[in-house]
Amino acid sequence: MATYAFLSDEWIEAARLLRQHYEDRLPEPVLATRINVNVTDVPHLDDGLMAGHIDTSEGQTVIEHGHLDDVDLTVTVDYETAKAAFVTRNQQKVMESFLTGKILVEGDASKLLALQSTPPNLGPDVEPLLAEMYEKLNALTE
């Protein structure tokens, strides 16, 4: 399997295809929310800044380029912390980053915390599916 730099155009396209492969088998998000995300210190971008968003308001989790209007919150995070949150799912690193000010939240932080938690009613078929999806996402990431 080819690997790509996290948040490169190639990585985003591969992650998009992976999401499409799994989306009809995953439960709806636990919370409808719209979040703008600023990732700083992105090594392969000239200005080091990437703007994106997370939108769960339509019953699926969509992560894409660009900002949305009318959001619940905006999160600014450095590249390594974003990678820990979205790829390796290293919750300890994410919590450390939050406590040390590497994650800045403007708006309703409770919605961000709710998205980070795993809903208790996933069922026995969904847990292995999520694990498989994140394993594949990790495998395609440099």
Give the tens place of pLDDT for each residue, 23-82.
888 878 878 999 999 999 999 999 999 999 999 899 888 889 999 999 999 999 999 999
Give the tens place of pLDDT for each residue, 7-16.
999 999 999 9
In the numeric block, which tokens belong to residue 101? 């000010």
For the chain, domains (ranges, CATH) are: 9-139 (3.30.1050.10)
Give the tens place of pLDDT for each residue, 69-92.
999 999 999 999 999 988 998 989
DSSP 11-34: HHHHHHHHHHHHGGGSPPPSS--E
Placement of tokens 């190639």 in the chain: 10
Query: Please, what is the end-to-end C-alpha distance for the chain in angstroms?
Result: 11
